[in-house]
Amino acid sequence: MLVLLVFIPVLFTLYYINLVEISHRQNISYMRSITDQVETRIISSINDLKTASTKIAYSTVCNSLIKEGRIAARLELTQSLRIICDSIFAMNPGISALSIEDMHNRLFTYTQVSVSTWHIMNNYSYNITDGWEISGLRRDAGGSSYFALIMPIQEITGESGIRTIGQSTILCSMYHLNMIFHDIELPGGALIILYDQYGNILTLNNANPDYIIEAADNNSFEKWEEEIDGMQWKLVSILPRARGLNDSQLNIMITLLVSMGFIVIILLVIWMQLNHSVFRPVAQISHFLQSPDSRSPLSKTIELESNDEIGALAKYINDSIQEAKEMTASILDTQSKLYETEILRKQAELSALQNQINPHFLYNTLECVRSIAVIENNSEIETIAMRLAGIFRYSIKGGNIVKLSDEIYIVQNYIDIMNIRFMNKFHFAIDLDDDMYEWHIPKMILQPLVENAIFHGLETRRGKGNIIISGEYRDECLVLTVSDDGNGIEKEQLEKIRRSLVEVSTTDERGLGLINLNRRIEMEYSITNALSVDSNPEKGTVVTLRIPYKQ
């Protein structure tokens, strides 16, 4: 036992050195794994941008625009191309601008940034080739960073097969790249830096310039680099080297070993106390960590009654286990929400694609109905056809965010149609300040509420009914209410609807419509409790929407 006590510091030191080396090797392995993941995500992000560029460059609209010489036809093709760009820009927030050129000059530009940013594009050399290219870092006058993805535009010819007739250039912000580096977690002091082909830093996980210079020039850091497949960019990984014992620590260790010979007697005297207050609790912790249940460590905790450092260690381990439990639950919940969000996004993309299938057929059909109504001198059918065409055109074109004035106009069209059907049974009133009409809200969120008010509240009511849309500012939000004086909702049904807004599950038609509206607003603005419902039987219903400010 005396020999063991004497050599404990030596054993501890050797264990510490070995532990430092193992930890460093694990850090290197972890860094290489993270670097590979980052490279994979960068390639995936660039491939997404290449896919978007390909959709534009190989579209028939783009091909026709380059070859078309008539001004009127080019204006029409430009409008069609702008619609394609709206869809692609909406699904790719990292794209800031687009230009399309023929072999001589620029034909078409489309941008979501200031016009001054386009001087960046002028710095590129437009040597049109048969393959795609990616540029290095560029900055505009405001200091914002961009890079460009250049794709040739080609057509199929009868003689040579494929001929290059122009190129498309997509100006991309650092949005996707910054998000990739923002999410990674590295060991302390570690760096991952992305360089372009000219040696410029595109993005990294540490924005401290002094630390970057120190890490790049200091031999105490271990460095390696990898070139990204298919690109001229490279990833540089930097990790502090493992540090062993210095001279001062070694002298202290030698002094400690010599001193141990003089304190052996003292150690014997306090052995029993140490055994009770240190060794047994440490053995208990060691047994806990080495027990078969350690394969599932979150299932139990250390039962140790002690107020000293060992007790604090046991409490720290128990707290870590509890934090791990909570973190695991949070990760599972986050993954579930991300999965649900991805499903909703895919459904929205599918719905957008379906809505683009030959809308002119429905416009022409409604125009045919309206023309017949004019010939037959039937003003009601003419009005219905015109209002319905306006609602349909509004619902499938443009972005998802519109002005409140546009939404009110569509609601008025819908009320006109319903009043023709129900012989002017509904009175529609608006109580809004003038500046509220400029507030931006999600498209088609008021019309479903007015439709609910008519078919669930006013249709079976005797006499005329009133629908009022009003608004007020509250906590930096625009609070809109859609109220009616119809039949109202029974208390049991109202509670069911309110629960469904929280639990997101219902089979009731009205509840399902309200859930969809609530989810749209919450996902668009990252808020909760965006929609609420109040009602009194035989007195009417009030639906309230909370819309934060959004440019």
Q: If you write DSSP's letter for every residue of 486-498 in order, what string do you get?
A: SS---HHHHHHHH
CATH code that applies to domain 398-548: 3.30.565.10
The pLDDT of residue 365: 75
Looking at per-residue pLDDT, the higher value among 313 and 98 belongs to: 98
Residues 396-403: what's their mean pLDDT?
82
Residues 458-484: what's their mean pLDDT?
92
d(CA 449, CA 441): 14
Is residue 245 packed enough to be buried (19+ CB in 10 Å), middle (13-18) or exposed (0-12)? Answer: middle
Domain 22-261 CATH assignment equals 3.60.110.10:
no
The pLDDT of residue 546: 94
Residue 454: CA atoms inside 13 Å, Cβ hemisphere, count?
20
β-pair type (191-195, 201-204): antiparallel
The pLDDT of residue 214: 60
Helix ranges restricted to H, 218-355 = 247-260, 264-269, 271-274, 280-290, 309-355
The pLDDT of residue 512: 67
Handedness of CA 56, 60, 63, 69 (dihedral sign): negative
Residues 102-116: what's their mean pLDDT?
64
d(CA 197, CA 301): 53
Question: In the predicted model, is pLDDT for residue 472 greater than 80?
Answer: yes
Residues 487-494: what's their mean pLDDT?
90
Question: In the predicted model, is pLDDT for residue 259 greater than 60?
Answer: yes
d(CA 340, CA 516): 13
The pLDDT of residue 477: 93
Q: Which of 149, 168, 211 is nearest to 59 (CA)?
A: 168
Question: In the predicted model, is pLDDT for residue 281 greater than 80?
Answer: no
What percentage of the chain has pLDDT greater than the value 90? Answer: 15
Which tokens belong to 505? 């599950």
Model-wide pTM > 0.75: no
Report residue 330's pLDDT band, with 50, 70 and 90 as the boundaries: confident
The lowest-confidence range among 111-120, 336-345, 426-435 is 111-120
Question: In the predicted model, is pLDDT for residue 64 greater than 60?
Answer: yes
Tell me if residue 547 falls in helix, strand or coil. Answer: strand
Residue 104: CA atoms inside 13 Å, Cβ hemisphere, count?
2
Average pLDDT value for the chain: 77
Residues 15-34: what's their mean pLDDT?
73
Report residue 208's pLDDT band, with 50, 70 and 90 as the boundaries: low
The pLDDT of residue 144: 76
Report residue 261's pLDDT band, with 50, 70 and 90 as the boundaries: low
**Buried residues in 433-452 as b, exposed as e (16+ CB within 10 A):** eeebbebbbbbbbbbbbbeb
Domain residue ranges in the chain: 22-261, 398-548
What percentage of the chain has pLDDT greater than the value 70? Answer: 70
The pLDDT of residue 63: 83
Tell me if residue 236 falls in helix, strand or coil. Answer: strand
Residue pLDDT, tens place only, 353-387: 555 545 556 666 777 887 887 787 788 888 888 88
d(CA 333, CA 478): 31
Question: In the predicted model, is pLDDT for residue 4 greater than 70?
Answer: no
Report residue 245's pLDDT band, with 50, 70 and 90 as the boundaries: very low
The lowest-confidence range among 124-133, 178-187, 229-238, 263-272 is 124-133
Cβ(166)–Cβ(153) below 8 Å: yes
Looking at per-residue pLDDT, the higher value among 158 and 192 belongs to: 192
The pLDDT of residue 125: 46
Q: Return the axis-axis angle of helices 71-91 and 60-67, rounded to nearest 10°.
A: 150
Cβ(438)–Cβ(446) below 8 Å: no
